[in-house]
Structure 1
Amino acid sequence: MYDLAAIGAWVEFAVRWLHVVTAIAWIGSSFYFIALDLGLNRNVPGPADGEEWQVHGGGFYHIQKYLVAPAEMPEHLVWFKWESYATWLSGFALLWLVYYLGADFYLVDPAVADLPAWGAIAISLASLGLGWLIYDFLCKSKFGDDNTRLMIGLYVILVGLAWFYTHVFTGRAALLHLGAFTATIMSANVFFIIMPNQRIVVDDLKAGRVPDAKYGKIAKQRSTHNNYLTLPVIFMMLSNHYPLAFATEYTWIIASLVFLMGVTIRHFFNTMHSKKGMPYWTWLLTALIFLLVMFLSTAPLWRDAPEDEAAIPAGLEHFAQAEGYEDVHDIVLGRCSMCHAAEPFYDGILWAPKGVRLDSESQILRNARAIYLQAGLGHAMPPANVSFIEEEERQAIRDWYEAATRG
């Protein structure tokens, strides 16, 4: 029978691949149309709002933008929406596979908040849903009439949420959830606001009615938010690979600064594409903010370990009781903990890779599946087999994990 853990790992890989591919398609089309709209030549005669000549792939493209319908509406109108929907759906599926099904490993940290798995999942789901409702309410309220004020208000919400997530979830899950929250806002903007408003405009044009300008104004506001939120979302997606970003007591401040960098970088490109100059000062400001992020990430890197770190985590007793555990415990301590420790002693390693520690019974049991996949079933760990783990030891890891999960 094919190993269930291996099947799960491949399913996760496939969904992650889908998520990355759809995100590339969504972000690519978004950035392209923003650059196109800002760079249109609007000094053209006729009903078109602007035009652009472009060259790509051996051909020339003549692109025109209409704020109102052309003389005849085209029979086939291309809508850019599925990229957004597919990115969110695949990301939500990945959230289930990694953080909900593996809540005891990746979502809950008793040293932060001793939550039951179901409670942490409920907080996750509620924050995503309520977050969108609050954001949407602000956009539609009098507060949202001033775009600058609204953007500042949204930033305050994101900072507050960053602080909240780091006080209920693991550092890794906190940044991932902040990205999921932001991506939910972006995709919901497309699904609930931008696309319905665009359909109203198209229907009015087809019927020969003059569309209400408010629909375009509202869609433009939400599109602008999406524009400035894109780069921070990418950072959050990548952050789980870098404990320097999530394994520090200043994680929420780092996240807050990342959102500022998203604004400065997008401001440069938006200004450049609109042919209003090259504000290079934004790169200097971005570099200074990033230097501050680097400083915060190592000051200090790890929070103090709880007093009961050696205790067996609730729900994982069967791994400690499975046949062969004592041997595996010694193997991991001997072959892995020189790097995966609070204070690594392998030359050149300053902190535990990927934030994974294997220097206590609690940490070994929490990472049982990863140990099995990386060092038992596969040969990814140790890298280049630097600690000379033997095949008999890998077999011992496999036997132990399979005995613990056999039922």
Structure 2
Amino acid sequence: MNEFAIMWDWMAFAVRWLHVITAIAWIGSSFYFIALDLGLRKAPNLPVGAHGEEWQVHGGGFYHIRKFLVAPEAMPEHLTWFKWESYSTWLSGAALLMIVYWAGGELYLIDQNKAELALWQGIFISALSLSIGWLVYDFLCKSPLGEYPTILMVLLFGLLVAMGWGYNQIFTGRAMMLHLGAFTATIMTANVFFIIMPNQRIVVKDLQEGRTPDPKYGKIAKLRSTHNNYLTLPVVFLMLSNHYPLAFATEYNWLIAALVFLMGVTIRHFFNTMHAHNKPPYWTWLVTAILFILIMWLSTAPLSQSDLEDEEARAMTASEQMFAEAEGFENVTDIVLGRCSMCHAREPGYDGIHRAPKNVLLETPTEIAAAARAIYLHSGVSEAMPPANVSWMEPEERRAIVAWFRDASS
């Protein structure tokens, strides 16, 4: 099992790396095309059907770009499609969610203090919930409300806030943030897969068969692309949130996520306006700063005492019991309490640490047994923890951790 733990950790790293790479590609192309679209200008002698053009300089050369609002008169010989950036980002993200939050569900997914669910039930809710947002959102877009983009965005914001609150009633704070990001990213990728790409294929087919494309398909795709643009920054925040307990491990984490969505709107509004060659709305930065200050204030709200007491009194799972009964557990407990618990505590005693890193608590035997794999990987086979070995963990103590984990896994 110890070799499997190492292989599994490397696989998680590889999938996370892939996810970051594909996300960069998707976000980069999304931001580029929104900026390009907003920066188009009218010019004399544009071809029939051309909406505008833009000259750009990059990489030692000049680019002359024109956009046809519906379609050109004839189908070009070479056409580049932008879709795999979105698909690969979602697929790699889904794989990462399964590796971290489904396979590691007992530690990272379900909070038994919130909902007493079996692991399979948590996984089922996790998988099912990701499709709900798209179905509701798509219904709203296809309803008469689709003609009122601002109202539609407000309703989408309400849906996201409701899902964040709902996730927080079941999942750990870390899983809540990640699932809300996956929930939003599913809407974005479904926009590409079910709406934007099919509409573009209809336009291409009309051109190939000599028909005049209906402009409604471009209008629909533009609406969905705009929504994706405003949702991008919050999704990036939610992807990164699992590294910051002040974001996910607080009582009002779902409200922090809601405010992040508003920050995404204000930031993108500034850049979208600027790319459209209009006067930049500098007031958006003041609003963004106020929202961020409010987030920092909310992050200081303490968890209720009853929540802390419930966690301390929690009974061990079968997996945790296995590690607690393994030879060397008492020694490892003493090592962890002496070298790690000054930071991984409900009230950290190390200067500058206000919340336990990644919200991992190591104050009781139950908590130490629950974090066995992480302790083994970060303090046994590697020297990642304690960071810079600030608490002077000795080599023989690391060997004791490795021996304990391997004995429990054998």
Q: Under TM normalisation by the shorter chain, which class is it?
A: over 0.9
Please report how far the alpha carbon of residue 229 of structure 1 lies from its aligned counterpart in structure 2 after TM superposition.
0.3
After superposition, what is the alpha-carbon deviation per residue over 1:68-108, rounded to whole angstroms, capped at 9, x for unaligned? 44343222210000000000000000000000000001001
After superposition, what is the alpha-carbon deviation per residue over 1:325-363, rounded to whole angstroms, capped at 9, x for unaligned? 111111111111111111112233222122211111221
SS of aligned partner of 1:86 = helix
Q: Which letter does structure 1 place at the counterpart of 2:331?
A: D
Q: Which letter does structure 2 place at the counterpart of 1:4?
A: F
> Which structure would you say has the larger RCO, counting Cα contacts within 8 Å and 6 or more residues apart?
2
Determine the structure 2 residue equivalent to 1:309.
312
Determine the structure 1 residue equivalent to 2:132.
130
Q: Is 1:402 matched up with 2:409?
A: no
Alignment counterpart, residue 296 of structure 1, candidates 298, 303, 307:
298
Determine the structure 2 residue equivalent to 1:261.
263
Task: Tell me, in whole angstroms, the C-alpha distance in 2 between the residues paired with 1:295 and 1:302.
Answer: 16
Alignment counterpart, residue 152 of structure 2, candidates 147, 150, 154:
150
Contact 1:342 1:352 in 2 (8 A): yes
Contact 2:73 2:207 in 1 (8 A): no
Contact 1:189 1:222 in 2 (8 A): yes
Task: Tell me, in whole angstroms, the C-alpha distance in 1 between the residues paired with 2:192 and 2:325.
Answer: 50
Q: Which letter does structure 2 place at the counterpart of 1:367?
A: A
SS of aligned partner of 2:312 = coil
Residue pairs, 1:111-126, within 5 angstroms: 111-126=113-128
Q: Is 1:39 matched up with 2:39?
A: yes
- More displaced stretch, 65-74 vs 324-333: 65-74
Q: Is 1:160 matched up with 2:162?
A: yes
Task: Tell me, in whole angstroms, the C-alpha distance in 2 between the residues paired with 1:94 and 1:120.
Answer: 16
SS of aligned partner of 2:80 = coil
Determine the structure 2 residue equivalent to 1:345.
349
After superposition, what is the alpha-carbon deviation per residue over 1:343-392, rounded to whole angstroms, capped at 9, x for unaligned? 11223322212221111122112211110000011001111212111111
Contact 1:328 1:400 in 2 (8 A): yes
Alignment counterpart, residue 194 of structure 2, candidates 192, 196, 200:
192
Task: Tell me, in whole angstroms, the C-alpha distance in 2 between the residues paired with 1:110 and 1:9.
Answer: 25
Determine the structure 2 residue equivalent to 1:386.
390
Please report how far the alpha carbon of residue 311 of structure 1 lies from its aligned counterpart in structure 2 after TM superposition.
4.2
Task: Tell me, in whole angstroms, the C-alpha distance in 2 between the residues paired with 1:183 and 1:73.
Answer: 32
Determine the structure 1 residue equivalent to 2:373.
369
Residue pairs, 1:16-27, within 5 angstroms: 16-27=16-27
- More displaced stretch, 227-236 vs 210-219: 210-219
Percent sequence identity over aligned pairs: 66
Residue pairs, 1:269-280, within 5 angstroms: 269-280=271-282
Task: Tell me, in whole angstroms, the C-alpha distance in 2 between the residues paired with 1:301 and 1:277.
Answer: 44
Q: Which letter does structure 2 place at the counterpart of 1:305?
A: L
Give ranges in structure 1 of 5+ residues lacking alignment.
none
SS of aligned partner of 2:308 = coil
SS of aligned partner of 1:112 = coil
Please report how far the alpha carbon of residue 187 of structure 1 lies from its aligned counterpart in structure 2 after TM superposition.
0.4
Q: Which letter does structure 2 place at the counterpart of 1:274?
A: A
Q: Which letter does structure 1 place at the counterpart of 2:34?
A: I
How many residue pairs get aligned? The number is: 406
Please report how far the alpha carbon of residue 301 of structure 1 lies from its aligned counterpart in structure 2 after TM superposition.
5.9
Alignment counterpart, residue 224 of structure 2, candidates 222, 225, 228:
222
**TM-score of the two chains, using structure 2 as the length reference:** 0.96
Please report how far the alpha carbon of residue 52 of structure 1 lies from its aligned counterpart in structure 2 after TM superposition.
0.7
Task: Tell me, in whole angstroms, the C-alpha distance in 1 between the residues paired with 2:398 and 2:63.
Answer: 58
**TM-score of the two chains, using structure 1 as the length reference:** 0.97
